[in-house]
């Protein structure tokens, strides 16, 4: 009930009616004013000193179970990330503009080539057992991922760091195999939180975070209490993290007042939760998306005019309104979301345009081709409804398009990257580089549209090593333009991460990477 | 009578052994392996190989069965594949929650069911009887997740009298009143679910005995209907009633996954489901065996009770 207008604004942004800077400015202002009656106002405007301290925050986590761990090298679920960020800190945090910001590393710099890095660590930080935090802890925590027996999801990411050594107690030097201007963002990954040198058991680990572990039951519950020696600011006395994976039970308890924060609201429950007294929906615009995967290497979709016809047939607004209940943003046929610092404002927004679609369809000479769009709800949540909306759009363009629902078990192995046209989707990646690389690089194993452009590949590598921000942005713009004009991505829509809070919770604000990737989520929160 | 008991116990052991083989075979048949399930999308060839080596998944099935049975008999349940914690500790913690919920439910449901069943038998074919029948049948006809969610909606979300989920802190550290508050709705839900079965069986068993000649004798003697039923009919109707009660008690221990999920009670059912999801086979097997032993145990108990209640079995010729 509070956030609707902000979505209109975002669609204006996506439609090119306002610039990204204007959007951020106005969205900030709007998010606050729209929620003037609630505590959001306090959250955004009150200075830290005037925030109320104390209270125990009760959070319902939507994922977790028997594989939960307090060992960062074993973090797999959003529940793990959340518990981790409560008791540990990473070197670098992701801010709300998806930029790297200091956490345990106070500052960092690289050589012009972006392959040699110096991280300067914060001084005067102590672990909860009283020991000082030094570069030895950083080296130890990161090296644990690289052990031969390591099963860490962070291992392949960290392997690009070829050399890592301490230079005194508060400086860490690193070399990378290839230039990478995004290296600091790598250390925002939850797996790279810093634990204490020598820690192996993780039954009662010490951290530098805002809270100190008090009680922990695998798959059930964690209680952490305020760390009086925390190096930053925090407000709460204690935080309880309850694992509650059942979407309905979680929201029932939220509405009954048993939790202060209920993470991950099922799309079907959004309106119900939003209407409930005392509960607010918190929507974070993010890079997660659902898209048409149009394969460029096989008939009939190897024809770019047919691909353009397919892209002009997407009823973008309708997908957002109907399938995403208004909680989403239209896209511009590449995977970089408007929330990303490298999003390109200069490319005109492609709209739903049956006339243009008809024009390109005619040009392709395939007016009579019958096309099948494959989809599966289990593989891509909500995609069957989206496919039906799309089919109406394609019909308006004079296309003969049939929707085929596939068995869920084999969707990713038998349908995706096999058939010319199917619905696909991606979780958000922390940088434009990671997203563009994984889904579009011509030799990538998940290059789902089999689109290959040498120029694109060169740009991708060059941009990764470019340290001049303006030049870098230009390169990313060029890549987005290439995808927009000739690629196989038909962007059906970016959709929001939806969570909920009681109306007396302050500081649980939207974050494009999700609350569970916000290193400071637990210390930002207070009660009104 | 002693030989009869020994035979029952031996039979129970055999059943348990057969079930152990079935559990092991069934868990072997689960598709996918634990390493894939644990590591998920981020799995690489190297990390998969490391994981399989660590868990000794490369040995033949029969070797692993014998090793497993041996460890089981020595009470050594091993460590969970999912989190390296001791399975016995995990089960101990969860079993306490499950058993407590089952015991509190039984404490209310069993006497209530027997009393309702007797009332229905005493007033057979009357309005009261019909009311009890229709009421309990209605409750057994709707699934637990519906009763549970309905109770949550009415008593927790709308009226806010009761908590919607069982708060872990209250469950683990609370005093009796806090535990009861946390468990009130789950107990109510489960009571509705098991009531009908026991009530109907009590009524049917008692009425069945009521047609025997010796009951006619008692009636002709001039005893009141209440006295005839409670003093004369009930003792002989006890065996089938006890059997049904035993089955329902076993169900309360092993079959309450849905109620545990709705109210977020960390019990054995949810542990079982999570372990299946993560292919944590040792935990699945251990809980499977625990459920098996529970069923066999309660049935054994029911048999013993039936033998004690029945003079013909108590003093065999």
Do B264 and A257 lie within an 8 Å CB cutoff? no
- CA nearest B266 in A: which residue? A220
Lowest average pLDDT, out of A84-88, A366-370, A410-414, B55-59, goes to: B55-59
Q: Which residue has the higher pLDDT, B251 or B316?
A: B251
Helices of type H across chain B: 2-29, 34-39, 45-54, 61-73, 87-122, 127-141, 144-151, 168-173, 176-210, 213-221, 225-227, 234-254, 257-263, 268-277, 281-309, 311-314
Q: Is residue A482 scored above 50 in pLDDT?
A: yes
Lowest average pLDDT, out of A40-44, B64-68, B245-249, goes to: A40-44
Q: How far apart are CA B223 and CA B232, in angstroms?
A: 10
Q: What are the chain B neighbours of A66 within 8 Å (beta carbons)? A: 80, 82-83, 271, 274-275, 278, 280, 283
- CA nearest B42 in A: which residue? A153
Confidence bin at A24 (pLDDT 50/70/90): low
Q: What are the chain A neighbours of B90 within 8 Å (beta carbons)? A: 218
Q: What is the pLDDT of residue B49?
A: 79
Q: Is residue A5 scored above 50 in pLDDT?
A: no
Q: Give the burial string for B188-198 (b: 16+ CB within 10 Å, else e).
A: bbbbbbbbbbb
Do B157 and A252 lie within an 8 Å CB cutoff? yes
Helix (H) or strand (E) holding A120: strand A116-121
- Per the omega criterion (within 30 degrees of 0), is the bond before A300 cis? yes
Confidence bin at A23 (pLDDT 50/70/90): low
State how far residue A67 is from chain B, nearest Cα, in angstroms: 5
pLDDT in tens, B84-93: 788 888 888 8
Confidence bin at B53 (pLDDT 50/70/90): confident
Q: What is the pLDDT of residue A93?
A: 96
Q: What are the chain B neighbours of A156 within 8 Å (beta carbons)? A: 42, 44
Do B168 and A155 lie within an 8 Å CB cutoff? no
- CB nearest to B165's CB, from A69, A156, A249: A249
Q: How far apart are CA B277 and CA B281, in angstroms?
A: 10
Q: What are the chain A neighbours of B40 within 8 Å (beta carbons)? A: 76, 153
Q: Is residue B268 scored above 50 in pLDDT?
A: yes
> What is each CA distance from B313 to B229, B233, B240, B244, B247, in whole angstroms?
22, 17, 14, 19, 21
- CB nearest to B83's CB, from A68, A156, A221: A68
The whole-model pTM stands at 0.82
Confidence bin at A38 (pLDDT 50/70/90): very low
Helices B281-309 and B61-73, axial angle in degrees (round to 10): 50
Do A69 and B160 lie within an 8 Å CB cutoff? no
Cα A464 vs. chain centroid, distance in angstroms?
19
State how far residue B100 is from chain A, nearest Cα, in angstroms: 17
Please enumerate residues of A whose Cβ is less than 8 A from a Cβ of B: 65-69, 76, 148-153, 155-156, 217-221, 223, 240, 242, 244, 246, 248-249, 252-253, 255-258, 276
Do A69 and B168 lie within an 8 Å CB cutoff? no
State how far residue A412 is from chain B, nearest Cα, in angstroms: 12
pLDDT in tens, A159-214: 999 999 999 999 999 999 999 999 999 999 999 999 999 999 999 999 999 999 99
Q: What is the pLDDT averaged over residues A233-239?
A: 95
State how far residue A462 is from chain B, nearest Cα, in angstroms: 27
Lowest average pLDDT, out of A40-54, A218-232, A366-380, B237-251, goes to: A40-54
Helix (H) or strand (E) holding A494: strand A489-495
Q: What SS3 class is residue A427?
A: coil
Q: Give the burial string for A168-186 (b: 16+ CB within 10 Å, else e).
A: eebebebebeebbbbbbbb
Do B42 and A148 lie within an 8 Å CB cutoff? no
- CA nearest B40 in A: which residue? A76
Q: How far apart are CA B100 and CA B183, in angstroms?
A: 9
Do A155 and B263 lie within an 8 Å CB cutoff? no
For residue B158, count other CB atoms closer than 10 A to its CB.
11
pLDDT in tens, A272-315: 998 999 999 999 999 999 999 999 998 899 999 999 999 999 99
Do B280 and A156 lie within an 8 Å CB cutoff? no
Q: What are the chain B neighbours of A242 within 8 Å (beta carbons)? A: 165, 167-168, 264
Do B167 and A258 lie within an 8 Å CB cutoff? yes
Q: How far apart are CA A461 and CA A450, in angstroms?
A: 19
Cα A443 vs. chain centroid, distance in angstroms?
24
Do B169 and A257 lie within an 8 Å CB cutoff? no
Contact A54, A226 (CB under 8 A): no
Do B271 and A69 lie within an 8 Å CB cutoff? no
Q: What is the pLDDT averaged over residues A50-66?
A: 90
Backbone angles phi, psi at B164, to 5 degrees: -80, -25
In chain A, the N- to C-terminal Cα span, in Å, equals 20
DSSP state of A53: P
Q: How far apart are CA A407 and CA A378, in angstroms?
A: 9
Q: What is the pLDDT averaged over residues A456-460?
A: 94
Q: What are the chain A neighbours of B39 within 8 Å (beta carbons)? A: 76, 151, 153
Q: What are the chain A neighbours of B38 within 8 Å (beta carbons)? A: 67, 76, 151
Confidence bin at A457 (pLDDT 50/70/90): very high
- CB nearest to B164's CB, from A68, A151, A256: A256
Three-state SS string over A434-465 comes to HHHHHHHCCCCCCCCCCCCCHHHHHHHHHHHH
Q: What is the pLDDT of residue A30?
A: 44
Q: What is the ipTM of this complex?
A: 0.76
pLDDT in tens, A119-154: 999 999 999 999 999 999 999 999 999 998 888 888
Helices of type H across A343-401: 354-364, 383-396
Residue A109: half-sphere exposure toward Cβ, Cα within 13 Å: 2
Do B164 and A252 lie within an 8 Å CB cutoff? yes
Q: Is residue A333 scored above 70 in pLDDT?
A: yes
Q: What are the chain A neighbours of B96 within 8 Å (beta carbons)? A: none
pLDDT over 70, % of chain A: 90
What residues have CB less than 8 Å from B98, skipping those under 6 apart?
B253, B256, B260, B265, B267, B268, B269
State how far residue B152 is from chain A, nearest Cα, in angstroms: 7
Report the mean per-residue pLDDT for chain A.
Answer: 88
pLDDT over 90, % of chain A: 70
- CB nearest to A249's CB, from B50, B262, B266: B262
Q: How far apart are CA A337 and CA A344, in angstroms?
A: 9
Q: Which of A288, A292, A287 is CA-nearest to residue A423?
A: A292
pLDDT in tens, B198-243: 999 999 999 988 888 999 899 899 888 888 888 888 888 888 899 8
Do A148 and B283 lie within an 8 Å CB cutoff? no
Mutant choice from A67, A73, A80, A222 vs B, greatest count of B C-beta within 10 A: A67
State how far residue A170 is from chain B, nearest Cα, in angstroms: 32
Confidence bin at B31 (pLDDT 50/70/90): low
A-B CB pairs within 8 A amount to: 102
Q: What is the pLDDT averaged over residues A241-256?
A: 91
Do A256 and B163 lie within an 8 Å CB cutoff? yes
Contact A284, A101 (CB under 8 A): no
- CB nearest to A151's CB, from B51, B274, B278: B51
Helices B234-254 and B87-122, axial angle in degrees (round to 10): 150
Q: What is the pLDDT averaged over residues B113-136?
A: 91
pLDDT in tens, A390-432: 999 999 999 999 999 987 667 877 888 899 999 999 988 889 9
pLDDT in tens, B125-177: 899 999 999 998 888 888 888 888 899 989 988 888 888 888 888 888 778 88
Do B44 and A66 lie within an 8 Å CB cutoff? no
pLDDT in tens, A69-118: 999 999 988 999 999 999 999 999 999 988 999 999 999 999 999 999 99
Q: What are the chain B neighbours of A252 within 8 Å (beta carbons)? A: 149, 152-153, 156-157, 164-165
State how far residue A47 is from chain B, nearest Cα, in angstroms: 34
Q: What is the pLDDT averaged over residues A330-346?
A: 93
Q: Is residue A39 scored above 70 in pLDDT?
A: no
């Amino acid at each position: 009930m509070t956030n609707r207008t902000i979505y209109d604004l975002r669609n204006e942004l996506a439609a090119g009616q306002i610039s990204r800077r204007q959007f951020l400015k106005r969205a900030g202002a709007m998010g606050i004013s729209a929620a003037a009656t609630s505590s959001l106002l306090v959250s955004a405007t009150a200075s830290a000193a005037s925030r109320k301290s104390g209270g125990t925050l009760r959070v319902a986590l939507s994922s977790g179970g028997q594989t939960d761990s307090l060992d960062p090298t074993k973090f797999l679920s959003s529940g793990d990330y959340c518990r981790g960020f409560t008791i540990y800190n990473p070197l670098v945090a992701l801010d709300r503009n998806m930029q790297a910001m200091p956490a345990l590393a106070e500052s960092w710099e690289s050589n012009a080539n972006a392959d040699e890095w110096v991280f300067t660590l914060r001084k005067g930080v102590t672990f909860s057992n009283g020991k000082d935090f030094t570069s030895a802890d950083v080296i130890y925590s990161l090296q644990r991922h690289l052990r031969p027996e390591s099963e860490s999801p962070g291992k392949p990411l960290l392997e690009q760091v070829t050399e890592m050594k301490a230079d005194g107690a508060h400086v860490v030097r690193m070399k990378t195999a290839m230039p990478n201007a995004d290296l600091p963002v790598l250390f925002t990954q939850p797996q790279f939180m810093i634990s204490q040198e020598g820690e192996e058991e993780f039954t009662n680990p010490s951290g530098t975070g805002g809270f100190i572990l008090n009680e922990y039951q695998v798959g059930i519950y964690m209680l952490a209490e305020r760390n009086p020696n925390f190096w930053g600011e925090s407000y709460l006395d204690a935080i309880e993290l309850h694992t509650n994976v059942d979407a309905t039970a979680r929201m029932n308890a939220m509405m009954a007042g048993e939790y202060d924060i209920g993470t991950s609201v099922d799309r079907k429950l959004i309106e119900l939760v939003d209407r409930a007294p005392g509960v607010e929906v918190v929507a974070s615009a993010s890079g997660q998306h659902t898209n048409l995967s149009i394969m460029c290497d096989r008939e009939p979709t190897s024809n770019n005019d047919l691909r353009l016809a397919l892209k002009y047939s997407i009823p973008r607004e309708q997908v957002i309104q109907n399938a995403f209940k208004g909680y989403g943003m239209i896209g511009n046929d590449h995977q970089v979301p408007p929330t990303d610092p490298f999003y390109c404002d200069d490319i005109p927004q492609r709209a739903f345009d049956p006339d243009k679609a008809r024009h390109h369809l005619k040009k392709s000479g395939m007016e009579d081709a019958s096309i099948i769009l494959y989809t599966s709800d289990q593989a891509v949540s909500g995609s069957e409804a989206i496919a039906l909306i799309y089919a109406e759009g394609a019909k308006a363009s004079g296309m003969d398009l049939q929707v085929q629902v596939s068995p869920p078990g084999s969707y990713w192995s038998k349908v995706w990257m096999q058939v010319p046209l199917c619905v696909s989707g991606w979780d958000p990646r922390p940088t434009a580089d990671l997203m563009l690389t994984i889904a579009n690089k011509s030799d990538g194993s998940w290059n789902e549209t089999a689109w290959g452009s040498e120029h694109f590949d060169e740009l991708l590598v060059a941009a990764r090593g470019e340290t001049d921000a303006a030049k870098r942005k230009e390169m990313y713009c060029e890549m987005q333009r290439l995808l927009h004009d000739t690629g196989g991505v038909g962007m059906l829509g970016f959709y929001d991460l939806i969570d909920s809070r009681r109306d007396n919770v302050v500081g649980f604000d939207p974050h494009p990477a999700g609350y569970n990737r916000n290193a400071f989520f637990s210390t930002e929160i207070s009660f009104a | 009578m002693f030989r009869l008991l020994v035979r029952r116990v031996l039979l129970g052991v055999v059943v348990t052994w057969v079930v152990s083989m079935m559990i092991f075979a069934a868990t072997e048949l689960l598709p996918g392996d634990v390493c894939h399930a644990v590591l998920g999308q981020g799995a690489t060839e190297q990390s998969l190989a490391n994981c399989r080596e660590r868990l000794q998944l490369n040995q033949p099935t029969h070797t692993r069965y014998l090793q497993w049975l041996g460890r089981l008999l020595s009470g050594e349940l091993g460590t969970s594949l999912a989190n390296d914690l001791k399975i016995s500790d995990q089960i101990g913690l969860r079993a306490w929650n499950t058993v407590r919920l089952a015991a509190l439910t039984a404490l209310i449901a069993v006497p209530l069911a027997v009393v309702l069943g007797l009332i229905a038998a005493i007033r057979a074919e009357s309005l009261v009887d019909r009311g009890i029948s229709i009421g309990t049948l209605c409750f057994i006809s709707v699934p637990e997740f519906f009763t549970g969610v309905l109770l949550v909606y009415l008593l927790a979300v709308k009226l806010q009298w009761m908590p919607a989920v069982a708060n872990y802190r209250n469950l683990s550290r609370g005093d009796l009143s806090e535990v009861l508050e946390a468990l009130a709705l789950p107990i109510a839900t489960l009571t509705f679910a098991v009531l009908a079965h026991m009530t109907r069986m009590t009524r049917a068993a008692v009425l069945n005995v009521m047609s025997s000649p010796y009951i006619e004798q008692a009636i002709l003697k001039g005893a009141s209907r209440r006295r005839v039923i409670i003093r004369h009919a009930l003792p002989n109707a006890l065996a089938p009633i006890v059997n049904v009660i035993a089955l329902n008690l076993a169900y309360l221990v092993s079959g309450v996954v849905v109620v545990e999920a709705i109210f977020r009670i960390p019990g054995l059912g949810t542990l079982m489901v999570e372990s299946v999801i993560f292919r944590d086979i040792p935990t699945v097997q251990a809980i499977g065996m625990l459920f098996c032993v529970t069923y066999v145990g309660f049935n054994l108990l029911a048999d013993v009770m039936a033998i004690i209640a029945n003079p013909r079995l108590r003093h065999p010729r």
